[in-house]
Every structure is written in C-alpha cells, then in structure tokens.
Amino acid sequence: MTTTVGIIYKYQFEPAKAEAEKLEKRLKEQGIIVFSKEMSAPSGLRSCHDEPMKIPKNVDWIVVLGGDGTLLGAARNIGKHGTPILGVNLGGLGFLTSIPLKRLYPVIEMMLKEKLEVESRLMLETKVLRVEDEICRFSVLNDVVINKGPLARIIHLDAYINETFLTTFRADGLIVSTPTGSTGYNLSAGGPILYPTMASLILTPICPFTLSNRPIILSDSNTISIMMGVQSEEKVTLTLDGQVGFEFEYGDKVMIYKSNDRIKLIRSPDQDYFEILREKLMWGGATYSVVSQNELE
C-alpha cells in the first residue's frame, strides 16, 4: 500500500509547479504523505556533483513532472536507490517521461493501487582518475560524453576494453551510452537504438575523422577506459547525462562500467516501447505522405 510519494518538478517552470501543487493536494486528501521538491538548477560544467534532492530515499514512489532532463536528474539523485519513478511529460520529446499530462490522474490512481508494471534499467558507474587519484564518481542513466570545444580541432581518444586496447578515435568526441540513452545523443551521432532493458553498452564516436570508426555494442560485463592520446590545446569536457561535468584533462582516465544501482521506471499503461518509438520518431509519417501523393496521381 502506498503511504508516501515524492514529487519532483521541472526547474523554474511554472506549469510544472502548478501541477505539482495540484497533485500534492489531491494525494494528501487521500491520506498520503507527500514530499515535493523543485528540481535543482543545472550544475553545468563546473562540478561533477549534483545538489542533494532532499526527498527521503524510502518513499514508495516518485512522480516527475517535466521532461526527460528532469527525470535524468531525479534518477541520479534518488531513483538510483531503487525507488520507482513515474515520468509525466511536460517537456519536449519525452522518451523517459512517457505519460502525457492529460493521463496523469488516471495513471496515478493505477499507481496507488499498484496496477502498473515497473521496468528495471541499466545505469553506468563513471569513475575519473587523475594522477591515480579518484576525483569523481557518478551513476548515470543515459550517457557519458567526452567532447571537444566548438572551435577545437579533432581530439585523439584512446579506448580500452577491459584494459585491452581497442583503438584511437580521432573525432569530435565519444559517447558511451546505455540502452536507455540510445535514443538521445547516441542516436543523433548515428548510433543504434537498443531496447531499453538490454544488458549492453554502446560506444559511438562523434563525427570520426576515419569513416571506418563505427559504433560498437558491448556486453555490460565490460569496463570501458578512455584517455586522451594527444594533449589538446583547447578545452575538452566530460559530461554526464548532458547535465553535469567538468574539464577533462590530458592524463585523466575515465572508467565506465555497469553500476550496482538500477533505475526503476513505471511503464506507460497505454503504450508499449515500440508505440512510443513510432510516435516520438514519427516512423511511418513519410511513407504515408508518399502513398497519399501516389494515390492522388
């Protein structure tokens, strides 16, 4: 039986705040203890630490009101403790926040009656070593990205799999993605879409100088290590879930591997994953337009 619910809503977004207040009132009327919190301001590229969410780790459920970015922040802060998350889309594309706002309250009632399915997703542990000292450790849901500055030349990134040399990527950067993150930056860079519950990692170069450098899918039992092969004159950044990160220096070593933490996302009762793909990526729309034009001719 549900007795406590956490509500996290999009940073400085009044529609999300208004919906959070309305939902909090409705839940309290049913005798449920509610902890409501605005998402913290993005940390940017100055720190590899999130602000604490200040919602108890042992709440029964978390409702996220916003977009995928809000849910990613919630996942890193509190969802990594195994608390199921219901993502409600008040943002843009919304692969993770798959519940539309108009369906919020019917789905909430199903959630309170424990009639919704929960899906477990892989997270990545990211550890950065600088002169053998660990300077950062982070769990991420979507991806880890090493990227050059906008005016910099291509960078050289030495990649190792389980300490065995793979190759040196000469590219604008490199993405290590989870299956959940495969529809994010990885997809834009030409990487494959993976079913979100698969036990795999994706290594995708960004605009590689050598066209034979293609994305590679690895088992989640592997550890990926990346270092800069040649010192860059420009800034190179390491970003985590596209939200937090810091400057990646020559000599740093980033190690990426399966986290012991798992994120639990509540599945949409109205759509399966393939329906969400068709809707968000508009698959079939172009074909329909061509057929309709041919029929007119």
Residues assigned a catalytic role: 68
CB 64 within 8 Å of CB 74:
yes
Contacts of the segment 68-71: beta carbons below 8 A, 24+ positions apart: 68/92, 68/93, 68/94, 68/95, 68/96, 68/97, 68/184, 69/10, 69/242, 69/243, 70/8, 70/9, 70/10, 70/11, 70/16, 70/39, 70/97, 71/96, 71/97
d(CA 72, CA 79) in angstroms, rounded, equals 9
String of b and e for 201-232 (b: at least 16 CB within 10 Å)?
bbbbbbebeeeebebbbbeeeebbbbbbeeeb
Phi/psi for 225 (5° steps) reads -120, 135
Q: Which residues pair with 240 in a beta bridge?
A: 144, 244
| Gap between the terminal Cα atoms of the chain | 60
Q: How many CB atoms lie within 10 A of CB 244?
A: 24
| Nearest alpha carbon to residue 180 among 124, 261, 247 | 124
